[in-house]
Amino acid sequence: DAKTTQPTSMDCAEGRAANLPCNHSTISGNEYVYWYRQIHSQGPQYIIHGLKNNETNEMASLIITEDRKSSTLILPHATLRDTAVYYCIVTFSGNTPLVFGKGTRLSVIA
């Protein structure tokens, strides 16, 4: 699996958009970008995933650059409940397990 690089921590004001970057410069053509988050004392929660195109669901938007070497997870209106560790994972979505890095610790501040 390709490795990912994420900032260790970020702060975001409540009500503002949170933009979480992820670099995956060695991603291969058939690898997906997945985002999970983990709120304290809970299991990882699936957020969104994509291959080439930008994706949006009820939780977030995923913007993938044209060369696919980086992506950004956007939480459009962050709330205090969005405070969590966010993991960007690149995977074949096949017979390989999810390989979690250390993620980005997002703190939403009132």
Q: How far apart are CA 65 and CA 69, in angstroms?
A: 7
Torsion angle (degrees, nearest 10) of CA 82, 1, 43, 39: -20
- Contact range with another protein by CB under 8 A, out of 12-20, 54-62, 66-74, 100-108: 100-108
Separation of first and last alpha carbons in the chain: 37
107 binds another protein (CB under 8 A): no
- Tokens found for residue 59: 């939780």
Whether the CA torsion 57, 35, 72, 81 is positive or negative: it is positive
- Tell me the closest approach of the beta carbon of residue 105 to another protein, in angstroms: 10
Among 24, 50, 75, 103, binds another protein (CB under 8 A): 103
Q: Which positions from 20 through 79 interact with another protein, judged by CB under 8 A? A: 34, 36, 41-46, 49
For another protein, the binding residues (CB under 8 A) are 34, 36, 41-46, 49, 87, 93-95, 97-103
